Structure 1
Amino acid sequence: MSFALLFSGQGTQHPAMLPWLADDERVRDTCARLGIDDWRRALADPFWAERNDNAQTLLTGLALAAWGQLAPLIIPSPAAVAGYSVGELAAFSAAGVIEPATAAALAPLRAEAMDRCAARVPGGLLAISGISEPELERLRVKAGVELAIRNGGPNVILGGPLVALEDAERMAVAAGAQCTRLRVNVASHTSWMREAAESFSRTLADVPFHAPQVALFSNAADRIRDASSGRAALAAQIARTVRWDECMENVMARQVRCVLEIGPGQALARMWNQRCPTVPARACDDFRSPAAIAAWLSSHADR
């Protein structure tokens, strides 16, 4: 069996996500960290759901719980693992670099460091597609925003202060682009998060890290091969462009036969299927039970 795991980032969280997820110890621990009794009911409140600290803590905890419930049903281990933005915390755990409890504890600290930066310069993210690269670069420079995430082809996400994002969106729409403001209230993966990356790096200095047990690909540093590079990459990506296009290429080079996205929505699975149509990808949100997910993986990864 040869498959890859991709862990989602924030922005597509919704109350009906992961419909098969059981209320286990990791889920209960996540709710306790957030001071809530029912995470689905909490997500029904858009204001609560879009808060950076709530989203990062919840999505990391639920991703850890989801993989914890799936892993006993799936043999062998994945051939490759990657995480999108905050999804790297769960990805590093799934690859054996940090313990699940450590990843869960780090999520609110990561969010706190980012929120401190955002308090000084409120910002966000803007997805843009359907525009040429030269035109995109022109409006990016003129608006004063940065490239936060490269998804491949004409699909990018810009980040920056709110006023600058409004200017970028206005110019992009005038140029015929499609624009979507993401449900994220910080300028993730831009230089406005540099102090957050430095703060998180200091936090990670005392955290036990291990060499990955499977091929692990980072948003900021290609393949992670040892503990020190993992520690550096996990902090650096907060203020650097997420090179998701390269992550997908690196995973594809492992010659996996299928891909499973763990987290809310199907964004990563859709991007994968557009880029690599010969290797099927599905999202956990597509299924009603862990057994169904394991059966799908087995039916494709064993070919």
Structure 2
Amino acid sequence: MSFALLFSGQGTQHPAMLPWLANDEFVRDMRARLGIDDWRAALADPVWAERNDNAQTLLTGLALAAWNQLAPMIQAPDAIAGYSVGELAAFSAAGAIAPATAAMLATQRAKAMDQCAALVPGGLLAVSGLSEPMLAQLLAETGLAIAIRNGPQSVVLGGPESALDDAERTALTAGAQCTRLRVGVASHTPWMHEAAESFAQTLAGVPFHAPRVLLFSNANDRVRDAASARTALAAQIATTVRWEECMENIMARQVRCVLELGPGQALARMWNQRYPGVPARSCDDFRSAAAIAAWLNSHVDG
């Protein structure tokens, strides 16, 4: 038995994230792609930080750097998954694509999604506390789609801004909790169909490999070979992120603990709420890579 590694998505990035991260080759490459000298200063500007192209490029580059710096201190994970754009770094950590490829693909993925969003501006709305019948009625009334399923009564809806406004009013009236996410595109919904097709064409020319570690996809469950890895990365742009199933698949591996790599603690918090007997922590909680390794090894070796 070992541990699971989860890579965060966008929306919780902040200037103080990953305080232990060193300025390695992956960070320098990310800065060059974005044309910035100080990524922490750039994140202090909310407008810059919430731009889809900036966020996807930055978060993928920082995740690649964080894993590069942490991996030599710990044993290999037993299972890996990434949340939304976090799949790029997750697929790299599992050996399905090279780190440089993941960094390049982040820019291409964001470009394809932004081109779709320019035609139909959209966004995402987190909703919790609605029963399945109420959720079904809300979807029918607004025409929105489920972008992410985090749990039985925890979903993220995606679609045009006006429909999201209507859904938020209706859900709040019904007693639900709603949070508008800091994302300017209707990710993981049919409004991103053209983006998924465009990204699939990009991926057709990219070398893929069978994962060296058990890898779970947002869209296609377990990724077993190069072909399914390529298909999964394109499909998740326009289909529901089934994060609830990802967590169930990982828990079935009987892991001893879970480590979230990225900004914030969203994935660790969801895991701890669902599986309190298997502890999860975020790399964002720690002040050094050595401290992360010490926590992880104490659970894996205990």
TM-score normalised to the size of structure 2?
Answer: 0.99
State the distance in 1 between where 2:152 and 2:261 align. 23
State the distance in 2 between where 1:104 and 1:158 align. 27
Q: Which residue of 1 aligns with 2:24?
A: 24
Provide Cα deviations, 1:98-153, integer angstroms capped at 9, x if missing partner. 00000000001000000000000000000001221211111121011000000012
Q: Which residue of 1 aligns with 2:242?
A: 243
Q: Please state whether the residue corresponding to 1:238 is helix, strand or coil.
A: coil
State the distance in 1 between where 2:130 and 2:223 align. 33
State the distance in 2 between where 1:139 and 1:256 align. 37
Matches within 5 A, 1:20-169: 20-75=20-75, 77-169=76-168
Q: Please state whether the residue corresponding to 1:158 is helix, strand or coil.
A: strand
Q: Which residue of 1 aligns with 2:220?
A: 221
Matches within 5 A, 1:234-273: 234-273=233-272
Q: Which residue of 2 aligns with 1:9?
A: 9
- RMSD after superposition: 0.6
Q: Which residue of 2 aligns with 1:274?
A: 273
Matches within 5 A, 1:165-184: 165-184=164-183
Q: Hey, which bits of structure 1, 4+ residues long, moved more than 6 A?
A: none
Q: Which residue of 2 aligns with 1:299?
A: 298
Q: Please state whether the residue corresponding to 2:205 is helix, strand or coil.
A: coil
Q: Which amino acid is 1:154 matched to?
A: Q
TM-score normalised to the size of structure 1?
Answer: 0.99
Matches within 5 A, 1:185-196: 185-196=184-195
Q: Which amino acid is 2:77 matched to?
A: P
Q: Which residue of 2 aligns with 1:202?
A: 201
State the distance in 1 between where 2:260 and 2:38 align. 24
Q: Which amino acid is 1:17 matched to?
A: M
State the distance in 1 between where 2:275 and 2:226 align. 30
Q: Percent identity?
A: 78
Segments of structure 1 that go 5 or more residues without pairing to the other structure are none
State the distance in 1 between where 2:58 and 2:87 align. 14
Q: Please state whether the residue corresponding to 1:242 is helix, strand or coil.
A: coil
Q: Which amino acid is 1:163 matched to?
A: S
Segments of structure 2 that go 5 or more residues without pairing to the other structure are none
